[in-house]
Chains A and B, each alone.
Chain A
Amino acid sequence: MLEINDLSISFSSYSFGLRKTETCAIRSLDLTITPGQIMAVVGQSGGGKSLLAHALLGILPRNARVTGGMLFKGEPLTIKRQAALRGRQIALIPQSMTYLNPLVRVGNQVAQAARLGGVPGRESKGAVSRAFTRYRLNQKVISCFPFQLSGGMARRVLTATATVGGAELILADEPTSGLDPASSGETLAHLRELADSGKAVLLITHDIEAALKVADSLTVFCGGVTLEVAAAGDFSSHGVLRHPYTRALWGALPGNDFVGAVPAAMTIAKNGGCPFSCDCPKSDTVCNDMMPELKRLYNGLVRCHYA
């Protein structure tokens, strides 16, 4: 359904005296999702994960430069094609309620999304009502304004909005952040249902535990680079994880060793080496100077000189 090869996103900005600087937010990201699958992208908070969703939808700011390939159903995603697919075949469950129009009643926004997805106008009312039932939203919420919704409800409205038009690729950006375990479990279960009904789901999150509850595979992302692609099952014990950063991330969970470290993302983006070299126990000079290639290792992928 979706294939991303060597995607890079950088931003140019003008600072002091019109000096042009280029900051690289995503460097060589690779990713594949098939129908029926949830692929989670996990990694540092603030590590440019949301940009990935924006790049897929073609809604990056104008000073962004994108290189590399994005294929949707085998065809390249051009700006024009993105505009045609956005909200129809590719839909976003955004991170926050601010994506809803504050002045339009919730039901109308869902109906709008349904029409955009190709549901004929006269059927859109029924589609909205079915979407509300499906996501356990009281029919009275149809006439509410966004500000009247609480966190959990808003999340369900956003999910309804993204799915009502029958999109085949769902991008969920931090769908569980700020939710308590009950609401977050519900949101994740909805994503699983969508995948089980044949959609492809890209779950972008900082919460590795949430990702492991529903994802089939995980792409581990740090300093703008894919470091590992692993099956969810690989996280059951320390042994199978391929990359030192993934092992550190897994080990940092309160239920595991709870040992922390923060890769200094800023310094990484500049030198060409491995993003984890500052904190990696195995790091040496090669790691500092040269970015490792992404290579295949026991049914997954890893980017490390010494894996």
Chain B
Amino acid sequence: MLEAQQLAFRYRDELPWIVNGIDLDIRPGEIVGLPGPSGRGKSTLAKVLGGYLLPERGSVRVDGAPLTRSGFCPVQLLFQHPELAVNPRWRIGEILGEAEAPPAALLDELGIESAWFERYPHELSGGELQRVCLARAICSKTRYLLCDEMTSMLDALTQAQIWRAILNIVKRRNLGLLVISHDTALIDRLCDRVVPCFADHPDAQIDNLPGDQKDQDRNSGEHHREEADIPPDSTDRPQTGIQL
């Protein structure tokens, strides 16, 4: 089981909590949905669960053991922008083999063609690159997959194709899956269970706004959807293809 207990995270001491007092558990083979608007810290929670960020309080345990900080992490994250999660100077073949070479059957299942191996990330479409990231994330040691708005940039057909493949893999390998999305129809379609832990968290949104703008937003009463894409949250995304 992937267990988070009383997790709390903020970027700096003087900044507000982004994640605060979150309990969450995902059993192997279980598909859990995490809906809600952007700016409520869902992505940050995913990064804490995946070991990209260290929680200030609380703990993350994977099948009873604390999250490892070295070697291949059994909890793998997939992001909305796959182009930011790979090294742009590596060929697809190198990216795929980063942890261990994915078996041919998996590549087939994900529709990854060997002709891509010689190409660079920018030569693939978003859907193709996302499937490459998926193949890289699904290793023999992978136990849990956390998908953060993974298909929200993709058209409906590509989206459905990717999720069908994930569902098959997850089922066969008994992986636990967390689906983070603001598309409630997608969550309803995929998940066994939904955790509404961010639905009522009005304080977490103003987190990353730069100084004076924070006050301004509070005054104008429009804080709740504004955190979305601002810098501090995106700079810690792995840009180099390094996986924990």
Residues of A within 8 A of B (CB): 42-46, 136, 138, 140-141, 144, 147-154, 177-183, 206-209, 248-250, 252-255, 258-263, 265
B225 within 8 A of A: yes
Cβ contact within 8 Å between B225 and A178:
no
Q: List 18 A-B contacts (CB under 8 A).
A: A45-B155, A46-B126, A138-B216, A138-B217, A140-B216, A141-B213, A147-B230, A150-B228, A151-B226, A152-B225, A178-B80, A178-B228, A180-B182, A252-B160, A254-B186, A254-B190, A255-B185, A261-B157
A252's partner among B125, B159, B183, B217 (CB-CB below 8 A) is B159
Q: Does B142 contact A (CB under 8 A)?
A: no
Given contacts A178-B152, A181-B37, A262-B111, is CB(A152)–CB(B226) below 8 Å?
A: yes
Instruction: Tell me how far the C-beta of B128 lies from the nearest C-beta in chain A, rounded to whole angstroms.
Output: 8
B159 cross-chain contacts in A, Cβ below 8 A? 252, 254, 260
A254 in contact with B158 (CB, 8 Å): no
* A-B CB proximity, top 8 nearest: A260-B161, A260-B160, A151-B228, A46-B125, A151-B229, A150-B226, A252-B156, A252-B160
* Complex contacts, A44 vs chain B, CB 8 Å: 125, 127, 155, 157-158
In the complex, A261 Cα to B217 Cα: how many Å?
A: 43
A169 CB to nearest B CB, Å = 25
Whole-angstrom CA separation of A181 from B182 in the bound complex: 7
Query: In the bound complex, how far is the Cα of B127 from the Cα of A44, in angstroms?
Result: 9
Q: Which residues of A contact B186 (CB under 8 A)?
A: 254
B133 to chain A, nearest CB (A): 15
Residues of A within 8 A of B209 (CB): 148, 150
B68 interface residue (CB < 8 Å to A): no
The chain B residue sitting closest to A140, CB to CB, is B216
How far does the alpha carbon of A173 sit from the alpha carbon of B33 in the complex, in Å? 30
Contacts of B227 in A (CB 8 A): 150
Instruction: Give chain B residues whose Cβ lies under 8 Å from the Cβ of A258.
Output: 160, 163-164, 189
Chain B 23-51: CB-based contact to A (< 8 A → 1; otherwise 0) = 00000000000000111000000000000
Q: Which of B154, B186, B189, B190 has the most CB of A within 10 A?
A: B154
Q: Is the CB of B153 within 8 A of A262?
A: no
From B126, B152, B190, B225, A183 is in contact (CB under 8 Å) with: B225
State the main secondary structure of chain B at its contact with A: helix
Whole-angstrom distance between the alpha carbons of A263 and B125 in the complex? Answer: 12
Binding site for A on B (CB under 8 A): 37-39, 80, 111, 125-127, 152-164, 182-183, 185-186, 188-190, 209-210, 212-213, 216-217, 219-220, 222, 225-231
Determine the distance from Cα of A152 to Cα of B219 in the docked complex, in whole angstroms.
Answer: 17
Question: What is the count of residue pairs linking A and B with beta-carbon distances less than 8 angstroms?
Answer: 130
Which residues of the other chain, A, contact B222 by a CB distance below 8 angstroms?
Answer: 136, 138
> Smallest CB-CB separation from B224: which chain A residue?
A182
Q: Are B125 and A45 in contact (CB under 8 A)?
A: yes
CA–CA, A208 and B185, complex, Å: 14
A265 surroundings in chain B (CB, below 8 A)? 125
Question: Is the CB–CB distance between A144 and B213 below 8 Å?
Answer: yes
Name the residue on A nearest B227 (C-beta). Answer: A150
CB pair B225 A260 closer than 8 Å:
no
Most chain A beta carbons < 10 A, residue from B155, B158, B159, B164: B155
Q: How far is the CA of A183 from the CA of B229 in the complex (A)?
A: 12
Contact A253 B156 (CB under 8 A): yes
Q: How far is the CB of A283 from chain B (nearest CB, A)?
A: 16
User: Chain A nearest CB: distance from B189 CB in Å?
Assistant: 4
User: What's the nearest-Cβ distance from chain A to residue B207, in Å?
Assistant: 11
Q: How far is the CB of B6 from chain A (nearest CB, A)?
A: 27
Name the distance in Å between A219's Cβ and chain B's nearest Cβ. 14
B183 touches A254 (CB 8 A): yes
Distance (Å) between the CB of B43 and the closest chain A CB? Answer: 12
**Distance (Å) between the CB of A298 and the closest chain B CB?**
23
A84 CA to B226 CA, complexed, in Å: 36
Chain B residues within an 8 Å CB radius of A182: 37, 225
* Cβ contact within 8 Å between B230 and A150: yes
Known: A150-B229, A152-B225, A178-B228. A262 touches B189 (CB 8 A): no
- B212 partner residues in chain A, CB cutoff 8 A: 140
Q: How far is the CA of A144 from the CA of B212 in the complex (A)?
A: 10
Q: Which residue of chain B lies nearest to A255 when distances are taken between CB atoms in the complex?
A: B185
Residue of A nearest to B37 (CB): A180
Residues of A within 8 A of B164 (CB): 258-260
